[in-house]
Structure 1
């Protein structure tokens, strides 16, 4: 059993992660901004991510950073909140597992071209992809934190089925045997909790696609 803190717990990915971890018998504490607890966690603490302290996150095996912002004025929050969590966890054994984006996945083995650079990448999602990519690049500089950044497949489906099957990949955009780059929030949550329970991709970015 792992003791897991989920930060920005009111988001849709966070709720899937919480439910998955609880179903496995892990202990989960949810931290969110909403007054009401709309997660499956029985232990819910109302607290903004930037107000979290070292004491709040002490004693956990892992902290899941599920922060997400889409409004243009809020996009810098990806870097700001991630830096805060890194500073709080600096020098500790607590893992920081970050819910990342697909836009920063590479399309070539030389790691020169990212998905966000491709001509077919939707313009509407570019600001978000660039903000998440910037946060990842800043995270790569942190050698004082036991972080793991998990990118989903290109087609990240909120209401997709929980198949229980996924392929674990690395820095490059990967497709399944059907040629798809797709994964549901539910299967992504399985992969994320698996990483906390069994994985050891410390200071690495990994990615997942439906198997």
Structure 2
């Protein structure tokens, strides 16, 4: 498998690259500036400038792009749509590092986490923008996409336990009634998903037991 990680210099992207490298996977870091990852192969190019020619040799593309500036939140949808355009009508798979805010709180899937009363106001614009990007991706029936939401408590410095669960679209808690996962365990889950070729056309979630 030939793998590319877009926005690989970010915290999640770097750990995904490291996980892939540790397993001997052929991984290319796609970055806008100097490579800060463990990848030996690097494509230095802005995400929005990528072409079909740039990605023609990859089997799986992992989108680790994220932006937090409120005046740029529309780039979440724009970036996903651009990458989807590059792989549409091919066997290439697009895996997206998603958010937890769009997870559902009820079986009817009518209420998302970010729409709930207790969700922090400061994070609602970001969560709403990421939910919109997922909604746009759902319309792409000509793309082999998978959207992977982390747990609510997504810990950058958390330890790698290797003990995680793949769940569905509804917020799922562990035995301690917690929704937690470290970046490192999320990276492991993402690489496993890339290797197993499951969950095509689905949004899933991952959390620590």
Describe how 1:54-203 pairs up with structure 2 within 5 A.
54-203=52-201
Shift of 1:45: 1.4
Contact 1:79 1:131 in 2 (8 A): yes
Alignment-derived partner of residue 22 in structure 2: 23
1: CA distance between counterparts of 2:25 and 2:175? 32
2: CA distance between counterparts of 1:31 and 1:168? 27
Higher mean displacement: 116-125 or 85-94: 116-125
SS at match of 2:19: helix
Contact 1:59 1:94 in 2 (8 A): no
TM-score scaled to structure 1, two decimals? 0.97
> Structure 2, unaligned stretches of length 5 or more?
none
SS at match of 1:55: helix
1: CA distance between counterparts of 2:54 and 2:172? 37
2: CA distance between counterparts of 1:199 and 1:5? 15
Alignment-derived partner of residue 47 in structure 1: 45
Shift of 1:166: 0.4
1: CA distance between counterparts of 2:57 and 2:24? 17
| Per-residue deviation, residues 80-99 of structure 1 (Å, max 9, x unmatched) | 11111111111111100000
> Structure 1, unaligned stretches of length 5 or more?
none
Alignment-derived partner of residue 10 in structure 2: 11
1: CA distance between counterparts of 2:174 and 2:23? 26
| Per-residue deviation, residues 171-205 of structure 1 (Å, max 9, x unmatched) | 00001111110000000001100000114100000
Shift of 1:59: 2.1
SS at match of 1:119: coil
Contact 1:31 1:47 in 2 (8 A): yes
SS at match of 2:30: strand
Runs of 4+ with deviation above 4 angstroms: none
Contact 1:168 1:208 in 2 (8 A): yes
1: CA distance between counterparts of 2:207 and 2:141? 27
Shift of 1:63: 0.1
2: CA distance between counterparts of 1:91 and 1:64? 17
| Per-residue deviation, residues 56-110 of structure 1 (Å, max 9, x unmatched) | 1112120000110000111100011111111111111110000000000000001
